[in-house]
Amino acid sequence: MTARPPVDLRHALATLDLLPGELVRVGAELPARYGVSAHYARWAGAPAAPPTGPGPAVLFDRVRPDHGPARAVLMGLYGTRRRAAGLLGCTPAELPRRLLAAVAAPRPPVPATDPARWPRGTLPLDLTALPVPVLTEEDAGPYLTLGAVLATDPETGVRNLSVHRMCVQGPDTLTIWMVPGRDLELAHQAALRQGRPLPVAIHLGLGPAVLLSSCCPTSLVPPSVDELAVAGALAGQPVELLPCRTVDAEFIAHAEYVLEGELLAERAPESRHGEVATPEFLGYQGRAHPSLPLVRVTAVTARESPIFQAVSGPGHEQSVLLGFGMEAAVLDLLNRRGTPVRAVNCHTAGGGQLMVVLQWPAKRDPGDDAAVLASAEAVVEEFRMAKLVLCVDEDVDVESDQDLWWAMVTRFQADQDLRVLPDREGFPLDPSQHTGYSRAISADGRTAKAVFDCTVPYAQRSRFRRPRFTEPSLPVPRRPGAPLPR
């Protein structure tokens, strides 16, 4: 799609503008509450309820909050794997290896040398006046669904950039959900041990390299590695930073919106956030949390005519964003095992996490039959999120659901090609991972895992050749004036 990744969100949209059907602009004014999501539903893609399917990026030019001016909202920029990878100048198969290379050779961020390159102003300190979508009537309120939080651990000095869901609770207050034990929560705890809140910069609307790097799992980007340095390597140029105006933190210079603030020790009262949540990336209503940490916002800055970026939950886009980092992590594991896997696809049907497709090169000897199974079992044991692994041969297109099902139908016998690993650590947002669903599960959040070996056994390989259509032989062009052949 492009030889060099776009630096910022506007460059990404300009790239899509040149490609028919990749970017749709909606000029009609829509309400932030339900209007954006209702209009976007046809393009949200599974696991959103049908009828829906992966579609274009959609820029809503005029989205009006309950009060305040109408502003632009972007949905679906990463709504297909091909478009997401294309924005970084590669194919979906190439992007995980690009991520691995970026982790191996990071490019640290640098201070912005020309702040005027991305001029920004200060908006009124009122989050309720921003065009934050409310997606469904079950949402607890307006959610920042793609807010990238940048913070520095006060004990280690390492930056962390991670995407979190945050609910607007008032003009200057958000609640935030942090995965227990992950980098942002650890930095928050370190700050609290020092008796102070954690300064943060929350970004809305970032360039593709930065956002995709922020979605990488810890197994790929450990706490000692700066996600912004990975983003710099992925983009081919360092990320530029500027100091915040009201807190002791940095922000990414090209961001559309920046919410400066502090992650506090206080938590929201139970009655404010205890009954409802918002739909999850697996397609079901999220679990309500009775009390969540609070972010006090101290300033809102934005570029001129800023673009508020969001994702639909549920929808295809979240799964695409989560999948590429997971694929790179699986590739890293298999590389360390010396396994010659050709490609990894963390299928969007599993939220980019729960279903892993492994494509294998041609088998060289009978020992490769066992190696395929052993490597697939290693994946489900190493990654608690991985629930199903589907192994296919190199002639199967891992980006084609039709080809994957064809391989399942014609290269799989359940009595010998299915491996079940019972009662493993899993992922509680999958509602089937519940003791009420299966008595074989010892606790909620545990699951039976499965490997489907849809590769052809080495001894049977001659019976499974796919026919290729023959190219017609073209006539040899006749030189003008030459006699016709007899």
For residue 274, is pLDDT > 60?
no
For residue 156, is pLDDT > 70?
yes
Residue 271: what pLDDT?
Answer: 45
Residue 470: what pLDDT?
Answer: 87
Q: What is the pLDDT of residues 14-44, one digit of tens each?
A: 999 989 999 999 999 999 999 999 999 999 9
% of residues, the chain, pLDDT over 70: 94
Closest to 342 measured CA to CA, from 330, 352, 353, 324: 330
For residue 79, is pLDDT > 90?
yes
For residue 483, is pLDDT > 70?
no
What integer is the mean pLDDT of 392-406? 97
Q: What is the pLDDT of residues 85-126, one digit of tens each?
A: 999 999 999 999 999 999 999 999 999 989 889 999 999 999
What integer is the mean pLDDT of 377-393? 97
For residue 11, is pLDDT > 80?
yes
Confidence of residue 454 (pLDDT cuts 50, 70, 90): very high
Residue 273: what pLDDT?
Answer: 44
Residue 479: what pLDDT?
Answer: 67
Residue 207: what pLDDT?
Answer: 97
What integer is the mean pLDDT of 319-324? 96
For residue 1, is pLDDT > 50?
no
Q: Kindly report the backbone phi and psi dihedral angles of residue 45, in degrees, each rounded to the nearest multiple of 5, phi listed first.
A: 80, 155
Residue 313: what pLDDT?
Answer: 79
Confidence of residue 272 (pLDDT cuts 50, 70, 90): very low
For residue 451, is pLDDT > 80?
yes
Residue 428: what pLDDT?
Answer: 87
For residue 305, is pLDDT > 90?
yes
Confidence of residue 477 (pLDDT cuts 50, 70, 90): low
